[in-house]
Chains A and B, each alone.
Chain A
Amino acid sequence: MKTMIKAEHVTIGYKIGDFKDIGLKEWVMRHLKRQYHVESFLAVRDVSFELMEGDMLGIIGANGAGKSTLLKAVIGVMEPREGHIERGGNISALLELASGFDGDLTVKENAYLRGAMLGYTRDFMDRTYDQILDFSELWDFADRPFKQLSTGMQSRLAFSIASLVQPEILILDEVLSVGDGAFQEKSAAKMREIISGGAATVLVSHSLSQIRELCNKVLWLHKGAQVAFGETQPLCDQYEAFLAGKLSIEEAGRA
């Protein structure tokens, strides 16, 4: 079995403080008055996990647990401050659905642009484009500007591109809850197909039933720290107990 993602003692920091959206004048003034405060905030601390071919990892945890930050490090947008992450294949990521699409471009142009961002060639997109439109059921809109699509259609397109380009690693951030019931059904089936094809998938979701159904491993984060990494069902049971107030974080870590 091939290791697809290996994260070892990963710590990721953000810079926070009042440095955003300020101009040069403001920056100089604050330095002169010694009012320029920038702090480092560790969004993820000492997290380790390993994913093999065909694994599907669910990441659970309350808001602000560091789930999205961890994903950003996995896809290489952020650099861990400590520890390191190894990747065993090409990555197709879906973070925050419609991001990176351009409202003025047509659906077709956006599909190609997205494919290019994911690192595919023009030939490959020529071959895959029809399938993408089939799957997203957007043939009627192929030459319309992207902004004319409804939000549901936009996320359908995003999901179709990310999953049809045959990724070796697929990253999904809260995206399986998109589209109508029929499309959700279809996308869940597609996910199972990708996983059985040997890809490794990471899913962030607040829906525990979804995680129980799809994932075989779970990583539980709490305020940036790793609570547990292991089998899905027992961890989901613990997480539910924790959410209901029957279990404290310390107990969960030990169990």
Chain B
Amino acid sequence: MLKKLKQHQFLFSELVKRDFARKYKRTILGMAWSILAPLMNLIIMWLVFSNFFGNNVNHYVVYLFAGQLVFSYFTDATNLGMNSLVGNAGIFTKVNVPKYLFLFSQNVSSLINFGLTLLIFFTFVAIDGIPFTWLFLLLIYPTVCLVVFNLGIGLVLSALFVFFRDMQYLWGILTQLIMWMSAIFYTIDSYNPMVQNLFLLNPIYLYIRYFRKIVIDGVIPTPQFHLLAAAYALIAFGVGAWMYKKYNHEFLYYV
């Protein structure tokens, strides 16, 4: 796959350019907007919830932002990615190109968004008086896991969307559910340990927690935690890759 990616490097970069031109309509404001939207969301959540949770949680703004950061990257990448096969049907039914390139190029703009939001996140961290330590370098780990996880879910969704055109609505409902179960604005401390462990079944919660542990608590998660984070990413990617391989020549019949 990597060899093929190299071979199609030029196509990949042209697709990325195209997706950028489409998404932002060549305006700086378009780009600013895609960062502003999650920021506004953050401010609203902070206004609403800081009264309820602000007193019990250290660095509540950073706590909230960490959740929002991971979750908005997840929804952005998967919602955009879902359309990457159907939206490019005009191309892959006429030219023989690896179909996953469309999803990968689509994810680049989401990743750049995430990067920019991450910079703003660090600004908030600094303003909130949290010292930067070498531990922050470990954030690369959950970021890589998250990228792979989002790619995997994107592969699965884009394939499903070819077969079932109501996936968009179903996925909208599912992401709502995931949002509520990711403890973005609340803490799970008041639940008993049994229920707290159930939260770890949610990959998005796991990645958010990794960010919070490093940035707010200043501790390195356990090795098991690391394994679980990687396992979620690899399983999602594996399922997605398998679907693309299996249905590679079937997609054509459905578009």
The smallest beta-carbon distance between A82 and chain B, in angstroms, is: 14
Interface size of A by Cβ–Cβ distance < 8 Å?
Answer: 38
* Cβ contacts under 8 Å, A120 to chain B: 10
Our pick among A19, A72, A79, A109 for the contact of B254 (Cβ within 8 Å) is A19
A247 lies within 8 A of chain B by Cβ: no
The smallest beta-carbon distance between A58 and chain B, in angstroms, is: 21
- Give residues of chain B (229-255) contacting chain A, Cβ–Cβ below 8 Å: 249-250, 252-254
Our pick among B91, B170, B252 for the contact of A100 (Cβ within 8 Å) is B91
A118 near B95 with CB under 8 A, answer: yes
* Cβ contacts under 8 Å, B163 to chain A: 19, 27
CA distance A14 to B255 in the complex (A): 12
The smallest beta-carbon distance between B8 and chain A, in angstroms, is: 8
A255 lies within 8 A of chain B by Cβ: no
A95 lies within 8 A of chain B by Cβ: yes
B22 near A100 with CB under 8 A, answer: no
CA distance A15 to B163 in the complex (A): 13
CA distance A96 to B95 in the complex (A): 11
A22 near B165 with CB under 8 A, answer: yes
B164 lies within 8 A of chain A by Cβ: yes
A75 near B14 with CB under 8 A, answer: no
CA distance A109 to B14 in the complex (A): 8
A105 near B21 with CB under 8 A, answer: yes
Our pick among A77, A79, A105, A125 for the contact of B95 (Cβ within 8 Å) is A77
* Cβ contacts under 8 Å, A19 to chain B: 163, 254
Our pick among B7, B11, B94, B97 for the contact of A96 (Cβ within 8 Å) is B94
Given A22-B165, A24-B167, verify A113-B15 contact (CB < 8 Å). yes
B96 near A109 with CB under 8 A, answer: no
Main secondary structure of the interface of A (DSSP, over half): loop
B213 lies within 8 A of chain A by Cβ: no
For A28, the closest partner residue in chain B by CB is: B164
- Give residues of chain B (135-175) contacting chain A, Cβ–Cβ below 8 Å: 163-167, 170
B93 lies within 8 A of chain A by Cβ: yes
Interface size of B by Cβ–Cβ distance < 8 Å?
Answer: 31
A122 lies within 8 A of chain B by Cβ: yes
Our pick among A20, A91, A112 for the contact of B14 (Cβ within 8 Å) is A112
CA distance A79 to B8 in the complex (A): 21
CA distance A93 to B94 in the complex (A): 8
* Cβ contacts under 8 Å, A210 to chain B: none
CA distance A15 to B252 in the complex (A): 10
The smallest beta-carbon distance between B163 and chain A, in angstroms, is: 8
A243 lies within 8 A of chain B by Cβ: no
B10 near A109 with CB under 8 A, answer: no
The smallest beta-carbon distance between A79 and chain B, in angstroms, is: 4
A117 lies within 8 A of chain B by Cβ: yes
B193 lies within 8 A of chain A by Cβ: no
CA distance A120 to B11 in the complex (A): 8
A62 lies within 8 A of chain B by Cβ: no
A99 near B10 with CB under 8 A, answer: no
* Cβ contacts under 8 Å, B170 to chain A: 24
A25 near B166 with CB under 8 A, answer: yes
* Cβ contacts under 8 Å, A125 to chain B: 10
B96 near A77 with CB under 8 A, answer: yes
B21 near A104 with CB under 8 A, answer: yes
Given A105-B21, A116-B10, verify A100-B166 contact (CB < 8 Å). no
Please give me the 5 A-B residue pairs with the lowest Cβ-Cβ distance, nearest first. Answer: A23-B166, A116-B11, A76-B96, A24-B164, A15-B253
* Extra inter-chain contacts (18) besides given A26-B166, A79-B249, A119-B7, CB under 8 Å: A15-B253, A21-B165, A22-B164, A24-B170, A75-B95, A77-B95, A93-B94, A93-B95, A96-B94, A99-B94, A100-B90, A100-B91, A109-B17, A109-B21, A113-B11, A116-B11, A117-B97, A119-B11
